[in-house]
Structure 1
Amino acid sequence: MSALRLATLEQRHFQLHSTALEQLTEHLNGLDALCRTLGVTPLSRFVDPTALEFAEASRLLPAEERGPLIPDGETGLAWGIEDMAWFPASTGMTTLEALSAYLQRNRPRELTGARHPQLLADLAFCESCLGPLEAEGGQFHLAAGH
C-alpha cells in the first residue's frame, strides 16, 4: 500500500495534505495493537479506501468505456466529499495523543523495526493538523492510495 496521507475537512473546506505518513503506514498493525492496549480507537479505523476503490474500479472498466476524468469542484479529485469516510477530529486526537504519549516513554515490541523519531513525527504532524479542527467540529481520515 502506498503511504497514508492525512485528509481534513472543516465545513466544506477539504485538504489532502502532501506529507506521506510512511512510518505510520508501515507499522499500522503494530499501532493498532497498541491502540487496543491503550483503550483507544485503532488507527486503521480512520483509513478511507476511496482512492484505492476508484483505481480498482477504473481498472475493471474496458478502456473504451472510460470517459475523461472530470475532477470534483471541491476536492479536485475524481470523487467528492460525500464519497469519502469522515471521522471526528476529536476522536482522532484521542488516539493520536494516547499513542504519542506512550511512544515518547516506551519502545513497544509491537513496533520493532520502526524508525521511532519518524513515527513520532508522523503522529505529531497529524496532531498539529487536527488540533485546530477539534474545537471547530472538523473531520478527518487517513487517505489510502494517493
Structure 2
Amino acid sequence: HEAKINGLSITEVDFSTLSDDEAMLKVMMIDEPEKLSAAIAQLPASLYEQYNILQSAPFFLEFLHTDSHKGIGVKAIAQQFGINADEVICMGDAGNDKQMLEYAGLGVAMANASDDIKAIANHITASHNDDGVALVIEEFVLNK
C-alpha cells in the first residue's frame, strides 16, 4: 500500500544480510491495527530514544532517524523565509504529524485525527472530507 500510494518499488531484504552501516531512510511494520498495537506494547523504551517511532496510519508503524520528522522540515522552511514558529499553522491527523503540530504556533487536528493528535492540537477543525483545511484558512488566515 505504501509503495503504491507513493509510486515506489518494493525491495525485500533479509535484515541479517545488511552491514551495520547500511543507510536506511525508514523501516516500516505493516499489519492489521490490532497486531501493530500488540507489537507497540512490546517495544522497549530504549527504542524510543534511538528512533522516531510513530504510527502514521492504523496499519503503518514507522521507525525513522530521531531527526527525521515533519516538525524539522516545517521549521527549516519557516527559517528559510524568516517566519517565526508562532506565525505557522500546521494541520494533521496522524502520528507522523505530531512534531509538526507541536512546532507550529497553531497546531490543528482534523476531526478524523487520532485521539493522541487531537490531545496536542491547539484547535480541532472539520475532517479532511468536510473542508477542514479550508475552514482553518478562512478563520485564521482570511479572518472570516
The TM-score with structure 1 as length reference comes to 0.22
Q: Considering Cα pairs closer than 8 Å and 6+ residues apart, tell me whether 1 or 2 has the greater RCO.
A: 1
Which structure has more helix as a fraction of its residues? 1
